[in-house]
Amino acid sequence: MIDAPAPPGARVVQPARRLRGEFTVPGDKSITQRGLLLGAQASGRTRLRNPGLGADTRASAALVQALGAEVSIDTDELRVTGLGLHGLREPADVLDCGNSGTTMRLAGGLLAGRPLHAVLTGDDSLRTRPMKRIVRPLRALGARIHGRAYGTYAPLAIAPSRLRGAELDIRVASAQVKSAVILAALRANGPTVLRQPAPSRDHTERILTAQGAALHTTAREIRCEPADDLQAFDLDVPGDISSAAFWIAAAVLPPPPHGTIRNLGHHPRPTRLHHAHPNMGADIETHVETTDPEPAGTVIARSSDLRAITAGGHLIPRLIDEASLLALLATRAHGESRIADAQELRVKESDRLHTTERALSALGLELEAEPDGFIIAGGARAGGGTVDAAGDHRIAMLAAVAAVSGTGPVTIHGAEAVDVSYPTFWDDLARLAE
C-alpha cells in the first residue's frame, strides 16, 4: 500500500500482507496506439473500446489530429474519424511524440512517401533513442527521411516522395520497426517482402487484416501488397499485459497469496512474462476467452516457490518490456539466474539494464548488469530504501512491486513517470494491497 507523507514528486510504498480482489488493467497501450494511427488512414469512424489512455496514447491522438483526423476520447471509448489511406494532410507545425517510441516509429511509416512535409520530435529521452532502425528500411522503399547523426536520432524530417516495393531484411526483432515498414508499404507501387530475425508482436498485422489489407505472414516473413483503401473498424482493446505483468509478479512473490486479472491480452506470438513464469516454478493459470481479433482472457497468479532460470535468445525480444520484472523475480528464486540477449533494454526510456540494477541494488538485492543482461543472486527479499525512477515508468512500477513484496518502505522518486502507460497505477495499488 502507499504510505503518506512522501517527499515532493515521490511515493512511499509499504510492504503488503496480500493482494485482494479481482481487477482489470488499462487497455493495451500498443494496440490502442495502433488503433489510432490505423484508424486515421481508414475510411469512416473507428471505435476503440477500453482504450489505454496514458500519455503515450494521447501523443498518438494529438499527432493524428494534427494530420486532419477527428479524435474524441472518453473513459470507455476512443473514436477516430479517418481520412482514407491517401487523405492525411500536411501538419501546420512540428509533430511532438512526447516520450512515445511507438508514436514516432509508426508515424515515420505512416508519413513516409506522402506528398507532404512533416517533422517528428519528442522529449529529451525520445530524442536519444535509436531511429535509424526505421530510417534505413524506409529509405530502401524510397522515402526521403532525415534526422540527426545521419538519421540516427530525432527530430526526423520527412519530405514528399514516391515509394516502391522492395525485399527487406530488418536487423532488429521489433514490432515497431516492422509496423513502420508495413504502414509505408501499403502505399508503395508494388509488393514489399519483409524478413525479420525473430517473431515479434503482430498487432499491426491483425488490425490491418481486419481493415481489408492484403498481408501474407509467416513467423519470419511478411508480404504486403499495396492497398487502395482501408476500412474503419470496431475493437475491444484487451488489458495491457505489460501493465498486468507487475500485478502478476506481485502475486507470485510471497507473501501475497494470489491475484486475478480479467480481460487480459493473451497474445499467442510473443511469449510474455506470464508464459516465462512456469520455467521458474510460478503457479499461474491462464484462460483464453476470446480470440478475434486479439486474444484475451483471465490470469490467476499465486504465491510461488521460485527457482533460478537462464533466459536468452528469441525469448527475450518477446518480453523485453518485462525483463526487469523477470530480474526481480530471480532475486527471490533458489540459485543464480542469468538473463542474456537483452541489450535492447539499453535504449528504452532509460538504460534499463543500468536503472534496474541501480533500483534493485538500492533495496539490498544482488544483481550485476552485463552488456546484454543480468546475473542475479537469488534467495533474497527486498528491503526498504530509495529508488530513482529515472523518468522510466517501468522502473517506478518495478520499485513498487519490490516494495509490496519486501520488508520495508520504499520511497520512489519520479513516480509520476507511470502516467506514460498506466495513469491509475497508484490508485490501483492502494486499492489492491493490504
Closest C-alpha to 117, from 151, 89, 147, 158: 158
309: nearest Cα among 280, 282, 283: 280
Does residue 321 have an active-site annotation? yes
β-strand 310-311 against 296-302: which pairing, if any? unpaired
C-alpha cell belonging to residue 290 = 476470446
| Residues contacting residue 196 through CB under 8 Å, at least 6 positions apart | 169, 170, 173, 178, 220, 221, 222
State the DSSP H helix or E strand holding residue 248, giving kind and residue range, or none if neither: helix 241-252
Assigned C-alpha cell, 323:
525483463
Omega within 30 of 0 (cis) for the link into 226: no
Q: Give residues with Cβ within 8 angstroms of 121, minimum separation 6.
A: 94, 95, 96, 97, 127, 154, 155, 156
DSSP string spanning 168-220?
EE-SS--HHHHHHHHHHHTTSSS-EEEE-SS----HHHHHHHHTT--EEE-SS
Catalytic hit among 56, 202, 240, 321: 321
**Cα 220 from Cα 184, distance rounded (Å):** 19
Handedness of CA 129, 134, 139, 145 (dihedral sign): negative
Tell me how far apart the alpha carbons of residues 431 and 22 are, in angstroms, rounded to a whole number: 11
- What gap in Å lies between CA 85 and CA 186, rounded to an integer? 9
The answer to whether residues 223 and 191 touch, using CB atoms and an 8 Å cutoff, is yes
In angstroms, the first-to-last Cα distance of the chain is: 6
CB atoms within 10 A of CB 29: 26
Residue 177: closest CA among 112, 90, 267, 86: 112
Active site amino acids = 321
